[in-house]
Amino acid sequence: MRKYWGLFLACILLSSCGEDKPATSEADLPEEHSKSVSTKPAVKYGFDLSNFIVVEDTIRKGDIFGELMTRNKVDYPKIYELTQKFKDTFDVRRIRVGNPYTILKSKDTSEVAQLFIYENDPVNYTVVDFRDTVLAYKGRKKVKLVEREASGIIPRGGSLSDVIVQENIDYLMVNELSGIYAWTIDFFKLDAGDKFRIIYDEKYINDSIYAGAGSIKAAYFEHKGEPFYAFAYHNDSLDIKEYYDHEANNLRRTFLRAPLKFGRLSSRYNLKRRIRYYGYKVRPHKGTDYAAPIGTPILATADGVVTESTRRGGNGKYVKIRHNGTYSTQYLHMKAQNVRQGQYVRQGDVIGWIGMTGNTGGPHVCYRFWKNGRQVDPLREELPVAEPLAEILRPAYYEYMEPVKTQLDCIEYSGDPSDQLLTLNP
Residue partners of 124: CB distance under 8 A and separation at least 6: 138, 139, 140, 141
Statement: residue 272 has pLDDT above 70: no
- pLDDT band for 129, please (50, 70, 90 cuts): very high
d(CA 146, CA 149): 10
Mark 30-67 as b/e (b = at least 16 C-beta within 10 Å): eeeeeeeebeeeeeeeebebeebbbbbbbbeeeeebee
Q: What is the mean pLDDT of residues 262-290?
A: 70
Number of other CB atoms surrounding residue 122 within 10 Å? 18
| Domain identity same for 231 and 288 | no
Helices (H) and strands (E) in the chain, counts: 7, 25
d(CA 125, CA 136): 11
User: Treating both helix axes as pointing N-terminal to C-terminal, what angle do 394-409 and 5-13 enclose, rounded to 10 degrees?
Assistant: 30
Name beta bridge partners: 366. Answer: 289, 332
Q: How far is CA 250 from CA 10, 175, 213, 242, in A?
A: 27, 19, 24, 7
Q: What is the pLDDT of residues 375-394, one digit of tens each?
A: 998 888 777 777 778 888 89
d(CA 166, CA 189): 20
| Domain identity same for 279 and 329 | yes
d(CA 301, CA 304): 9
Question: What percentage of the chain reaches a pLDDT higher than 70?
Answer: 83
User: Could you tell me if residue 130 is inside a domain?
Assistant: yes
Instruction: Report the sign of the C-alpha dihedral through residues 124, 129, 130, 135, in that order.
Output: negative
Counting the structural domains of the chain, the total is 3
Residue partners of 355: CB distance under 8 A and separation at least 6: 294, 316, 317, 333, 334, 335, 336, 363
Q: What is the mean pLDDT of residues 312-331?
A: 93
Q: What is the pLDDT of residues 45-76, one digit of tens each?
A: 999 999 999 999 999 999 999 999 999 999 99
Statement: residue 175 has pLDDT above 90: no
User: Could you tell me if residue 36 is inside a domain?
Assistant: yes
d(CA 140, CA 96): 18
| Domain identity same for 134 and 153 | no
| Domain identity same for 133 and 229 | no
Element (H, E) at 173: helix 172-180
Q: Which amino acid, 247? A: E
| Structural domain of 235 | 144-252+393-424
Structure-model confidence comparison of residues 283 and 406, the more confident one: 406
Find out whether 73 and 113 touch, Cβ atoms under 8 Å. yes
| Domain identity same for 196 and 296 | no
Question: What percentage of the chain reaches a pLDDT higher than 90?
Answer: 55
- Domain containing 342 — which CATH number? 2.70.70.10
d(CA 85, CA 135): 9
| Domain identity same for 209 and 295 | no
Name beta bridge partners: 138. Answer: 126
Structure-model confidence comparison of residues 41 and 372, the more confident one: 372
What single-letter DSSP state applies at residue 347? T
| Domain identity same for 247 and 286 | no
Statement: residue 279 has pLDDT above 70: no
d(CA 368, CA 289): 9
User: Could you tell me if residue 294 is inside a domain?
Assistant: yes
Instruction: Report the sign of the C-alpha dihedral through residues 132, 87, 94, 31, in that order.
Output: negative
Element (H, E) at 85: helix 76-85
Beta strands of 72-171 (E only): which ranges?
100-105, 113-119, 124-129, 135-140, 143-153
- pLDDT band for 273, please (50, 70, 90 cuts): low
| Domain identity same for 34 and 128 | yes
Q: What is the pLDDT of residues 177-196, one digit of tens each?
A: 988 887 788 787 788 999 99
| Domain identity same for 119 and 175 | no
- Could you tell me how far CA 416 lies from the centroid of its own chain? 30
d(CA 360, CA 356): 6
User: Could you tell me if residue 41 is inside a domain?
Assistant: yes
User: Could you tell me if residue 12 is inside a domain?
Assistant: no
* C-alpha radius of gyration, the chain, whole number: 27
| Domain identity same for 150 and 201 | yes
- Domain containing 410 — which CATH number? 3.10.450.350
Structure-model confidence comparison of residues 87 and 354, the more confident one: 354
pTM above threshold 0.85 = no
Q: Is 134 helix (H, G, I), strand (E, B) or coil?
A: coil
User: Could you tell me if residue 259 is inside a domain?
Assistant: no
**pLDDT value, residue 274:** 56
**pLDDT value, residue 267:** 81
- pLDDT band for 33, please (50, 70, 90 cuts): very low
Q: Which amino acid, 2? A: R
Q: What is the mean pLDDT of residues 237-252?
A: 81
Name beta bridge partners: 288. Answer: 367
d(CA 14, CA 7): 11
| End position of a domain, from candidates 140, 170, 188 | 140
| Domain identity same for 32 and 134 | yes
Q: What is the mean pLDDT of residues 257-278?
A: 72
- pLDDT band for 163, please (50, 70, 90 cuts): very high
Statement: residue 220 has pLDDT above 90: yes
Number of other CB atoms surrounding residue 223 within 10 Å? 20
| Domain identity same for 348 and 406 | no
Q: How many CA atoms lie within 13 A of 222 on its CB side?
A: 15
| End position of a domain, from candidates 140, 163, 188 | 140
Structure-model confidence comparison of residues 387 and 115, the more confident one: 115
Q: Is 396 helix (H, G, I), strand (E, B) or coil?
A: helix
User: Could you tell me if residue 156 is inside a domain?
Assistant: yes
Statement: residue 240 has pLDDT above 90: no
User: Could you tell me if residue 11 is inside a domain?
Assistant: no
**pLDDT value, residue 18:** 47
Kindly give the pairing relationship between strand 327-337 and strand 350-354: antiparallel
